[in-house]
Amino acid sequence: MVERFNATLVTQLAKYCEEDQHDWDEWVPYMLMAYHAVEHEAMGFTPSRLMFGREICLPVYLATRKPLDEGLPVSHTKYVWTLQCRIEETRHRTIQHLKIAGQAMGRWYNEQARDAVYSPGDQVWFHNPCKRPGKSPKLQSPWEGPYTVVERISAVTYRITPAGSSRRTKVVHVDRLWRHSGKGVFTWGPRVSDHDSNSDIVGVTARRIVTVTLVW
């Protein structure tokens, strides 16, 4: 569980830290606050609710004046009893949500599973998680490109070449390829405006504030 959370944290830090990776530690508090305040899709609750039995108060509440969803009891005994009942109810509901989410995920995967097929001339990203001197491999993007598909050798292997070059080719497995949809367009997210100079290359830090749903 801890390793899964670390992977999620590193993924988010890689999206926001500078290219030289010198400021990654400054983003940790913001990433943790966002993680604790976002409802997990599979469990149906935020980590704060699961851990403390209540939601955390965010700075945005000062501007929106969003009312809290609970009132504090007058006596300490009543507060402890209320908190205990809330945590117990949250635990039972989380177990039900996880069971339903697991079944739905299995059905969705079986329905959506398709063989990836590329044709000569298609633009693709190439997954190449190599280490670069002076940089942490966890905070750098493993995707390179775009590359151009030169030949489909078999059902699972392709010959690709860097865009604009026809001499340097490499044979790779299809699992290491991802379709490139053009400048400012990604197959895993919404379209980014053309004036955003950081949107055409995977791995360049995006300096935009986006809402991300984290799945634990």
pLDDT in tens, 106-151: 888 888 777 788 999 899 999 988 877 777 777 777 888 889 999 9
CB 199 within 8 A of CB 206: yes
* Beta strands in 77-182, from DSSP E residues, in sequence order: 123-127, 143-152, 157-162, 170-173, 177-179
Place of tokens 């009312």: 67
Pairing mode, strands 170-173 and 177-179: unpaired
**Distance of CA 62 to CAs 49, 68, 148, Å?**
20, 12, 50
Token couple for 210: 């986006």
pLDDT at 69 over 90: no
Instruction: Flag whether pLDDT at 207 surpasses 80.
Output: no
Whole-prediction pTM value?
Answer: 0.40
pLDDT one-digit tens code per residue, 150-180? 999 998 899 999 877 767 889 999 989 988 8
